Chain A
Amino acid sequence: MEERSPHLSARRVPRRLMRIDVNAFLGAYPYRRVPGTSPDGLLQAMARAGIDEAWVSHLPSLFWRQPMEGNAWLYATAAREPRLKPVPALHPGLSGWEGALGEAADRAAPAGRCDPLYYGLDPAGPEMRVLAAACGAAHLPLMMAVRLEDGRQRHPNDRAAELPAAAVRALIRSDEDLRLLITHADRGFIEEVHFGSTPEEAARLWWDVSWIWGAPEDHLETLLGTIGIDRFVFGTGQPLRIPEASVAKVDLLDLAPAPRAAIDSENTRGGLLR
């Protein structure tokens, strides 16, 4: 029988520079059993997938009434492991969020996160606009997830709506200093926001690649051509999703070293975190 290609193994992909996963979680997920949610589990998965650094959010507190109560554990955990960078929760509808934002800046968190639909907030409402302005003033990128799981498989009690594209457009327009990092967005969502924004607004938006289809539909390749490679950063959604998926879809693009490095880390370090 014909032998399979020698390209199969992940260990045989070309040599690379740094890879930063901007979209990772720590802690248990309430709606199904997920392996590898501990810090050690995440670090093992990162080593397996060739990921050098992960921006981590505290998954359980996303579902808490007071999501910011998970930030202390997150900071303590990240302090013990330099490969993990904390992305603290910011809930602009609760008192204390300004302090949480200040702490994020003081601790050099790479971003703060807010998931308004999980928090019961209007995603483009007054609280979110105040948060957007504050993040802009603090030069802290704001991370938001479109979804965490495929809508077709969510638990019957997991009823938070997905983030609407219109809300992202409204927020990026609401403050000229805001930088948004949107995770778990598919091609249609990204196109709706990007092509509905001004070039100046679009230049303050970054998209992680975790939910974009690769070959043969080639959504990621299409977006790199139409929207531009500068807007895309490497992210996985692990451990809810296996990180190999994001690595494989970028591997399939056969990018030259410079654009590959742009997605893997340079757009994050040089663009989003400038």
Chain B
Amino acid sequence: MLIDVHAHFYYAGAPRSDWRERNASRLAAGRKIGVTIHVASILGSWGRTSPIYFPSPRDVEAIKLAASRRATDPLLDPICELARERGVPVLHHVWQHRTRDWPGQEASDGPELVALATRHPQVRFILAHIGGGGDWEHSLAALRATPNVYVDLSGSGVDGGMLEACLEAAGVERLLWGTDLTMDTGWAKLRYLERLLSPRDLELVQWRNAARIFPRGAFPAD
């Protein structure tokens, strides 16, 4: 079993003319890597067809907070309360020590997510793509003592020492495997972890941690 906790699919309403090719490529690469479940959102649709910002009907297994939202914003509290009621995790796109805001991208980082997670200790938060570019050491230092923040390993970053640092800061029980826009780097991290972890610990990262934080029944035979 292998759960990709950070995938993206597109559809005709998404801002990609090549959306069919990208979807097909993700599924083909997933088959080769052995991905069993793609937990996905649709970029650019602002919650209309994907659980970004707020839950859309029925098929929602998690909530993804939009990138342009600082995690300390109290407007997120009702959403987190809803996540607690429904037992779904909240994934937050993190910028990893970005020092200024950009249009559509507030500089929300590990410390901001930790502040939100501290206000909502019963909600599980996913710090998205530690490998997504940015100062990941800054993020890891922030989340060390916050047990309800999980680290997803997705992103194009494959820095030497990053996986060891994730294990050291969060522990193997708070790591989630994911890909984001580059499945090759996701596969690389998985291969690296094969050598670094025991088979039992590898399973935690591959799927057991995800199965624990997503709603019961979200995955086949869960």
Query: Which A residues have a C-beta under 8 Å from some C-beta of B?
Result: 1-10, 32-36, 48, 149-150, 152-153, 213-218, 238-242, 244-245, 247-249, 251-252, 254
Q: Does B160 contact A (CB under 8 A)?
A: yes
* Beyond known contacts A241-B160, A242-B189: 10 more, CB 8 A cutoff: A1-B36, A150-B134, A153-B134, A214-B183, A215-B26, A215-B28, A215-B182, A242-B160, A247-B188, A249-B185
| A36 surroundings in chain B (CB, below 8 A) | 160
Look across to chain B and name the residue whose beta carbon is closest to the beta carbon of A241: B158
- Measured CA separation A7–B96 after assembly (Å): 33
Docked-complex contact A217 and B181, CB < 8 angstroms? yes
- A35 pairs with B161, CB closer than 8 A: yes
- B69 sits at the interface (CB 8 A): no
Contact partners of B34 in chain A: CB under 8 A: 4-8
- Tell yes or no: B157 within 8 A of A by CB: yes
A5 touches B31 (CB 8 A): yes
Task: Give the interface of B toward A (CB within 8 A).
Answer: 1-2, 21-23, 25-26, 28-29, 31-36, 96-98, 133-137, 156-161, 163-164, 181-185, 187-192, 194-195, 206-207, 219-222
> What are the 4 closest A-B residue pairs judged by CB atoms, nearest first?
A5-B34, A214-B184, A249-B184, A215-B29
CB distance from B93 to the nearest CB of A (A): 13
Contact present for B36 and A2 (CB under 8 Å): yes
A148 to B160, CA, bound (A): 12
What's the minimum C-beta distance from B135 to chain A, rounded to whole angstroms? 5
> What are 11 A-B pairs with beta-carbon distances under 8 A?
A1-B207, A2-B220, A33-B161, A150-B134, A214-B183, A217-B181, A241-B158, A242-B163, A245-B185, A249-B185, A252-B184
Give the one of A3, A153, A213 with max B CB within 10 A: A153
Nearest-CB residue, chain A, relative to B29: A215
B158 touches A244 (CB 8 A): yes
Cα(A34)–Cα(B164), bound, Å? 10
Q: Is the CB of B188 within 8 A of A35?
A: no
Minimum distance in angstroms from A246 CB to a CB of chain B = 8
Which listed residue (A8, A48, A218, A254) contacts B33, Cβ 8 A? A8
**Chain A residues, Cβ within 8 Å of B23:** 216
Instruction: Select one of A10, A32, A150, A249 contacting B161, CB under 8 A.
Output: A32
User: Are the C-beta atoms of A214 and B182 separated by less than 8 Å?
Assistant: yes
Contact (Cβ within 8 A) A153 B181 = no
CA distance A152 to B129 in the complex (A): 13
CA of A217 to CA of B164, assembled, Å: 27
Q: Cβ of B164: which chain A residues have Cβ within 8 Å of it?
A: 35
Given A216-B22, A217-B22, A248-B188 in contact, is the A34-B28 Cβ separation under 8 Å? Answer: no
- In angstroms, how far is the closest chain B Cβ from the Cβ of A267? 19
**Is A34 a contact partner of B161 (Cβ separation < 8 A)?**
yes
Interface pair A215/B194, CB less than 8 Å apart: no
Chain B nearest CB, measured from A150 CB (Å): 5
Q: Which residues of A sit under 8 angstroms from B135, Cβ to Cβ?
A: 152-153
Contacts of A249 in B (CB 8 A): 184-185, 188
Residues from chain B with a CB closer than 8 A to the CB of A251 are 32, 187
Contact of A213 among B26, B160, B161, B181 (CB under 8 A): B181
**Given the complex, which residues of B lie within 8 Å of A242, measured CB to CB?**
158-160, 163, 188-189, 192
Query: Which residues on B sit within 8 Å (CB–CB) of A240?
Result: 159-160
Candidates B96, B133, B194, B221; contact of A10 at CB < 8 Å: B194
Shortest Cβ gap from A9 to chain B (Å): 6
A153 pairs with B221, CB closer than 8 A = no
B190 near A8 (CB under 8 angstroms)?
Answer: yes
Q: Whole-angstrom distance between the alpha carbons of A101 and B28 in the complex?
A: 47
A34-B160, A213-B184 as given contacts; A7 in contact with B25, CB under 8 Å? no
Which of B29, B158, B163, B219 has its CB near the most chain A CB atoms (within 10 A)?
Answer: B158
Query: Which chain B residues border A218 with CB–CB below 8 Å?
Result: 21-22, 25
Complex: A6 Cα to B97 Cα, angstroms: 38
Instruction: Contact check, B1 vs A248: say whether CB atoms are below 8 A apart.
Output: no
Q: Which of chain B's residues has its CB closest to A37's CB?
A: B160
